[in-house]
Amino acid sequence: GIQVEQSPPDLILQEGANSTLRCNFSDSVNNLQWFHQNPWGQLINLFYIPSGTKQNGRLSATTVATERYSLLYISSSQTTDSGVYFCAGSYNQGGKLIFGQGTELSVKP
């Protein structure tokens, strides 16, 4: 099956710093999504981005489908950005998501 690899596994930032999270897929995927899992366990949708670039405030994402990777950019990080970031993709019409292991981000004040 498809393997999803996220890097780095852990990241510690000072408030105000920028960061880039990466997601690599072993095969072509569609329905690629980025999520933020907050400390209470809720998975919050950040982006649906099977290809191209999108921006939402301080966050942006780029997916290069032909090279099977996606990047999530966080600018001017805040303590509320802390949590685990997951990317996930599906490879069939049914949409079953295959998740990476996540990147745990900690933003210090």
Partner 1 sequence: EAGVAQSPRYKIIEKRQSVAFWCNPISGHATLYWYQQILGQGPKLLIQFQNNGVVDDSQLPKDRFSAERLKGVDSTLKIQPAKLEDSAVYLCASRPWTGGAKTQYFGPGTRLLVL
Contacts with partner 1, residue ranges (CB under 8 A): 4, 30-31, 33, 35, 40-43, 45, 48, 86, 88, 90, 94-97, 99-102
Rank residues 45 and 66 by Cβ distance to partner 1 and give the closer one.
45
- Taking each continuous run of H as one helix and of E as one strand, the counts in the chain are 0, 11
Pairing, β 83-90 against β 98-99: antiparallel
Q: Could you tell me the smallest distance in angstroms from the CB atom of residue 1 to partner 1? A: 10
Q: Could you tell me the smallest distance in angstroms from the CB atom of residue 16 to partner 1? A: 29
Rank residues 1 and 109 by Cβ distance to partner 1 and give the closer one.
1
Alpha carbons 25 and 67: distance in angstroms, whole number: 9
Our CA angle for 21, 22, 27, nearest 5°, is 155
